[in-house]
């Protein structure tokens, strides 16, 4: 069974700092990749997704992620975080042809003003 690893469990940054959250997955076949965000008291929301094509994917709110197949990675980045980015971030993967999302353990991001 595939697994998804998020290396950072809790990240604290100051506003305007750059962000990179790591995500690695274990499955060797074709995958679809997602980053979801959960703001305090809200639903899981999709930030961005990768199915095919350009491995650099841009999402909402200035986030982007890069799929590096050779490293089985899909790291999330943002050049300059804001206080409103405080949330929990989840990387998730599906194997092509399957519907089940496999989630990482999540990274809690705290942005200090």
Partner 1 sequence: EPEVTQTPSHQVTQMGQEVILRCVPISNHLYFYWYRQILGQKVEFLVSFYNNEISEKSEIFDDQFSVERPDGSNFTLKIRSTKLEDSAMYFCASTERPNVGTQYFGPGTRLLVL
Question: Footprint of partner 1 on this chain (CB under 8 A)?
Answer: 32, 34, 36, 42-46, 49, 51, 90, 92, 94, 96-106
Nearby residues of 6 by Cβ (< 8 Å), 6 or more positions away: 21, 22, 23, 89, 90, 91, 104, 105, 106, 107
Query: Closest CB to partner 1 among 57 and 81?
Result: 57
* CB of residue 36 to partner 1, shortest distance in Å: 8
* CB of residue 80 to partner 1, shortest distance in Å: 26
Q: Measured between alpha carbons, how far is 103 from 93 in angstroms, rounded to an integer?
A: 7
Q: Measured between alpha carbons, how far is 24 from 3 in angstroms, rounded to an integer?
A: 8
Query: Closest CB to partner 1 among 13 and 49?
Result: 49
Query: Closest CB to partner 1 among 13 and 101?
Result: 101
* CB of residue 14 to partner 1, shortest distance in Å: 27
């Amino acid at each position: 069974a595939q697994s998804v690893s998020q290396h950072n469990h809790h990240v604290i940054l100051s506003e305007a700092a750059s962000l990179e959250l790591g995500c690695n997955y274990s499955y060797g076949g074709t995958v679809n990749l997602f980053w979801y965000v959960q703001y305090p008291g809200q639903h899981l929301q999709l930030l961005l997704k990768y199915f095919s094509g350009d491995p650099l994917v841009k999402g909402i709110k200035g986030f982007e992620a890069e799929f590096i197949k050779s490293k089985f990675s899909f790291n999330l980045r943002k050049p300059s975080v804001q206080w409103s980015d405080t949330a929990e971030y989840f990387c998730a993967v599906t194997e092509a042809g399957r519907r089940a999302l496999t989630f990482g353990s999540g990274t809690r991001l705290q942005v200090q003003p």
